Amino acid sequence: MKGNNYYLLATLFLAACAQQLPAQRQKTVNATEDSSRSSGAQSNQIRICDYTLAGATSGRLASFFGVVVRNLEGPATACLGITGSGTNISTSFRVEYEDDFGVRAFEADEDNNFYGKLEQKEENGQEVVRLEQIFIDDYGLIEIRGEAIGTNALMTASIRFHNFPTYEEALQQAVEEARSKCRDGTWTVAQCLGYNWPSQFWWNQPAPQTPTQQMLSLAREILADNNKSRSLGSIQFDLSDVLDQ
């Protein structure tokens, strides 16, 4: 019984953290106290972005913004700006669309930068440039991951997002994950009883990560999981148009 109580408390703690983490960052555009990603259509909103957000359906936009989207007027568009190189980059991002309710836009700037990396390598005799940018706001994570192969090639970047779960959703997800791992043998009997004993000796496990590394690994894991994140669409652009070194 003691083991079960311990596991329940641990699950509750993890679920609470999932809901409290977004409070560390604040949204910066169309800021309101509502539950959507932006305050909605406003008479003074105009569209300013040129990059077509391919694949951004009404359903995906509705999930991203947290509102009803009806009768899109033209494709959704996006803007991107990058400063710096290597792991010392600052990225700004804007996504916008227009429908029956007007123009709606969301922006993320340097205050929302969680992690960013822009690197150039030579692979198989070709120059390859890769971009990885993760934003965090009150509602979740946004990832831009792009690649350009060859000199002067256009970069194609996919955009994914994860909406933070509510307390109840996070608790249910944690319980179901534990149930599945106990059934298929991923966790040991001791772990299923609430004791966090690893299935391998500590010296056979990976070296411990710093808190920053742990948060980055967790963000990447969530964004790579199709059950926890969704594709918003993709954009194609010339890196020289968005990069300010």
Please tell me the predicted confidence (pLDDT) of residue 195: 81
Asked whether the predicted pLDDT for residue 224 surpasses 50, the reply is yes
- Kindly compute the dihedral angle of the four CA atoms of residues 161, 164, 168, 171, in this order, to the nearest 10 degrees: 90
Please tell me the predicted confidence (pLDDT) of residue 39: 53
**Nearest-5° Cα angle at 108, 107 to 112:** 155
Contact 239, 155 (CB under 8 A): yes
- Helix axis angle, 167-184 relative to 2-20, nearest 10°? 130
- DSSP reduced 3-state for 156: strand
Whole-number mean pLDDT of the chain? 82
Q: How many domains does the chain have?
A: 1
Q: Which domain holds residue 156?
A: 26-164+226-244
Q: Is the entire prediction scored with pTM above 0.85?
A: no
Confirm whether 12 is domain-assigned: no
Asked whether the predicted pLDDT for residue 133 surpasses 50, the reply is yes
Least confident of 11-20, 141-150, 202-211: 11-20
List, in sequence order, every residue forming a beta bridge with 136; answer none if it has no partner.
141
Confirm whether 40 is domain-assigned: yes
Confirm whether 209 is domain-assigned: no
Confirm whether 172 is domain-assigned: no
Please tell me the predicted confidence (pLDDT) of residue 6: 38
Confidence of residue 44 (pLDDT cuts 50, 70, 90): low
Confirm whether 46 is domain-assigned: yes
Confirm whether 67 is domain-assigned: yes
For the stretch 91-102, pLDDT in tens is 999 999 999 999
Span 95-116, average pLDDT: 92
Strand order through the sheet with 140-149: 113-123, 126-136, 140-149, 155-163, 230-237
Span 148-160, average pLDDT: 90
Highest mean pLDDT among 2-16, 162-176, 219-233: 219-233
Confirm whether 181 is domain-assigned: no
- DSSP reduced 3-state for 4: helix
For the stretch 1-42, pLDDT in tens is 334 443 443 444 344 444 434 333 333 333 333 446 765 444
Confirm whether 85 is domain-assigned: yes
Please tell me the predicted confidence (pLDDT) of residue 157: 97
Asked whether the predicted pLDDT for residue 68 surpasses 70, the reply is yes
Span 149-178, average pLDDT: 89
CA 196 → CA 1, 134, 174, 179, 187, distances in Å? 15, 31, 15, 15, 10
